[in-house]
Amino acid sequence: AEFLHPDEQKFFDVALGLVQTAGRLVRDAFDTPTSVVMIKSSSTDLVTETDQAVEKMLIDGLSKAFPDHKFIGEESVSGGAKIEFTDAPTWIIDPIDGTTNFVHRIPMIAICVGLTIKKQLRAGIVFNPITRELYTAQTGRGAFKNGFPIHVSNNKTINTSVLCASMGIHNVKAMGGKWLEMAQSNIRKQIEAGVRGHRSFGSAAINMIMVSQGCVDAYVEYGLHAWDMAAPAVVLLEAGGVMFDPSGSDFNLMGRKILCAATKELAMEISSKLTHADFEPEA
């Protein structure tokens, strides 16, 4: 596989160093919870000083190394502002995916740094600093956990699958009662279709990683943002997984929803069971 940019390896190496430093910051804050918790849109939408400090540290470090690069970071995108996604090398950053887990001291969180060039996914780093599991991938070069190759399962049917179906509670709130009904009925339909089990880890990135390493067979969620999906998407694809819009059409990084799976057959079976809707909330 060809690099789209001659310096891609350097981009990846610099980002990896910064993520490792960020990991120490998050681990210290997790072990000694002193960071102030703030409420964003509601009591189900939190941010802490650690989220903000980590995002700033990553963006400062990357922009110092690569002054012409662009950034899309969760805590730097101010409420409702339209995200500008261009052909330039763009770092898509979620400083802590799983902030509710972080605040509640559930050790399932991930620092996510993804890179796009010409709007194509090129690299993804997903690091859980608590369990010290580091997932890395570059397009065309495989997916790794702490340096060892990982692969999705080869599950093709719902009745041998463990599915991850998260409702994203603040999204359900943002969309109102109709949305709650859809989320509930979609989970009911999966149970009726004979799914072996359901899991949800409170972090979109960890949900996608669970598919990437073959523990979970598929994952559906509505309401996500590019920063939840970019980095783990590279890991998932390089681990042999597939990614679609839940309706079964092409995946769109800016489309706010995902259906990912170990195999295309499984993805299509799940897609055919679900009720679909567009996700266009105010916030």
Query: What's the min distance (Å) between Cβ of 1 and ligand IPD?
Result: 29
Residue type at 244 in one-letter notation: F
Long-range contacts of 75-81 (CB under 8 A, 24+ apart): 75/47, 75/51, 79/41, 79/283, 80/282, 80/283
Residue 203 interface partner, choices ligand IPD, Ca ion, none, CB cut-off 5-8 Å depending on type: ligand IPD
Q: Site mask, ligand IPD, residues 144-183, x = CB under 6 A?
A: ----------------------x-x--x------------
Cα-based distances in Å from 270 to 108, 111, 189 = 26, 29, 9
**Sign of the Cα pseudo-torsion (59, 72, 102, 199, in order):** negative
Other C-beta atoms closer than 10 Å to the C-beta of 86 total 10
Contact 150, 137 (CB under 8 A): no
What span, in angstroms and rounded, lies between the C-alpha atoms of 242 and 259?
8
Nearer to ligand IPD, 116 or 166 (CB): 166
What span, in angstroms and rounded, lies between the C-alpha atoms of 113 and 78?
19
Q: Which of residues 218-237 bind ligand IPD (CB under 6 A)?
A: 223-224, 228
Q: Which helix (H) or strand (E) holds 279?
A: none
Decide if 228 is catalytic: yes
Q: Site mask, ligand IPD, residues 181-210, x = CB under 6 A?
A: ---------------------xxx------
Q: In the block, which residue shows the tokens 């890395």?
A: 136
Residue 171 interface partner, choices ligand IPD, Ca ion, none, CB cut-off 5-8 Å depending on type: ligand IPD
Q: Site mask, Ca ion, residues 47-86, x = CB under 5 A?
A: ---------------------------x------------
Residue 223 interface partner, choices ligand IPD, Ca ion, none, CB cut-off 5-8 Å depending on type: ligand IPD
Query: What's the min distance (Å) between Cβ of 133 and Ca ion?
Result: 17
Active site residues: 74, 94, 96-97, 99, 228
Binding site for Ca ion (CB under 5 A): 74, 94, 96-97, 99, 228
